[in-house]
Amino acid sequence: MIDFTLDDALELAVDTARRFATERLAPMQREFEAARALPDALHAQAREIGFDRVDWPEACGGAGLGAQARVRVLEELAAGCPGAALALQTMGSAAHALLAFGGEQALAGQLNALDIAGGARAALVFDARGALKSDAAGRISGRLPWLPADRIGLLAILDRQGLRLVREGVALAPVPGSGLCAAGASEVMLDNAPVSAQWRDPAAAALALAHARLHGAALLVGQMHAAADYARRYALERVAFGKPIAHHQALAFLIVDMHAAVEMARELLHEAAWRLEQGAAGACAACASAWIEAAESAPFIGGHAVQILGGPGFMRDYPVEKYLRELRALGLLLGGADAARDDAVGDVEAGAMPAYLAAAAAVAN
């Protein structure tokens, strides 16, 4: 039976993330977007709390709380500002890719080589269409039109067969006017970039992609909740024809549909996190399904949040126009929903689970 009950450690982590998002992220989200960065002091505070390591193995300096902790913390942070939530994840989904392929030693080694103090982050990209080509010497060339980062210290390139790490030969050009600007926004160009490390293992690749989709779905769900809740509160305060517009039947039904869509995406997300944490059958397929549901619900939530506010919804005085941009941008990551459809009906081969995840599942059971 799936149990979504929060134990004391997980409840504390979620509550801490919620207060951090409410007090430190949401009030400053416009400033973060304008600066395309977060203050160093905020990064230091987040690292001290350990948001980016909540589900890492304890041997790597993590809290070892598992995938459910990760998605719940990301939900809360994304409700405050999803761009900031991305920026505060120094290793992001690249951490789980490294764990899937090289284990704890690979993660520790790449983390030690990252210039965290200088603001460098790791970025994971899923090269679903083979846009990044390797020559005979293994050097990579190609172009990524957009990535939510302005400085990359480690580029982890994931495909169906394996993982390649690049540290040099990566050029970034700023992209104006995109979503998730608090994390940065750049076009990424690689010109004969040398590969610093690589692995080939389709099962590990599927697992790494499942983690990345789980994390992306958590960010989407958190921002969808913020958008739907803001629109609901606005509709309860805005009066037209003698009563709050939320009391008009058509709008009331729409608000209910929006919240139902958020809750449906959240339930799929939490089930996928539980399956991945337990090493249960169908875990990777569940992560793909959660990602599809969240990515496809995001435009519905964001667009109707703006519609409920009407003309003011397009003004920067209100946050819903930003919610819409952020949700659309998040849905484009990892190849979008289309790249996940085949995976939603498949799974990692039985017995191919990496040792670190099998050990964690054994402890949980």
d(CA 226, CA 77): 11
User: What does the pLDDT read at residue 39?
Assistant: 95
CA distance linking residue 43 with residue 54, whole number of Å: 15
- Cα 228 to the chain's mean position, in Å? 19
Cα angle: 24, vertex 210, 108; to 5 degrees: 65
C-beta atoms surrounding 173 within 10 Å = 9
Strand partners, 155: 123, 166
The single-letter code of the amino acid at 190 is L
- pLDDT for the residue numbered 347: 54
DSSP secondary structure letter of residue 332: T
Find the helix or strand (DSSP H, E) in which 189 lies.
Answer: strand 186-193
Q: What is the pLDDT of residue 4?
A: 58
Superfamily of the domain at 8-87 = Acyl-CoA dehydrogenase/oxidase, N-terminal domain (1.10.540.10)
Tokens matching residue 133: 């080509």
For residue 106, the Cα-to-chain-centroid distance in whole angstroms is 22
Classify residue 112 by burial, with Cβ atoms within 10 Å: 0-12, 13-18, 19+. exposed
**Does the domain made of 203-364 have the CATH classification 1.10.10.10?**
no
102 φ, ψ (degrees, to nearest 5):
-115, -5
Q: Do domains 115-200 and 203-364 have the same CATH topology?
A: no
Q: What is the pLDDT of residue 128?
A: 85
Q: Which of 201, 338, 343, 323 is nearest to 272 (CA)?
A: 343
**CA-closest candidate to residue 55, choices 291, 274, 284, 280:** 274
Indicate whether this model's pTM tops 0.85: yes
Q: What is the pLDDT of residue 333?
A: 95
**Do residues 70 and 56 make contact, with C-beta atoms less than 8 angstroms apart?**
no
pLDDT of residue 344: 85
SS (H, E, C) 114-138: CCCCCCCEEEEEECCCCCCEECCCC
Backbone conformation region of residue 66, classed left if phi is above 0, alpha if psi is from -120 to 50, else beta: left
pLDDT score for 177: 77
User: Does domain 115-200 bear CATH number 2.40.110?
Assistant: yes
Three-class SS of residue 69? helix
For residue 83, what are the CA distances in angstroms to 31, 63, 153, 216?
Answer: 12, 23, 18, 12
Is the C-alpha dihedral spanning 329, 330, 335, 336 positive or negative? negative
Structural domain spans, the chain? 8-87, 115-200, 203-364
What are the average pLDDT values for consecutive 10-residue runs of the chain, which has 365 residues? 70 95 97 95 94 92 92 98 96 96 94 82 92 91 94 95 96 90 96 96 96 97 98 95 92 96 97 92 93 97 96 92 96 92 65 43 43
Tokens of 129: 């269409």
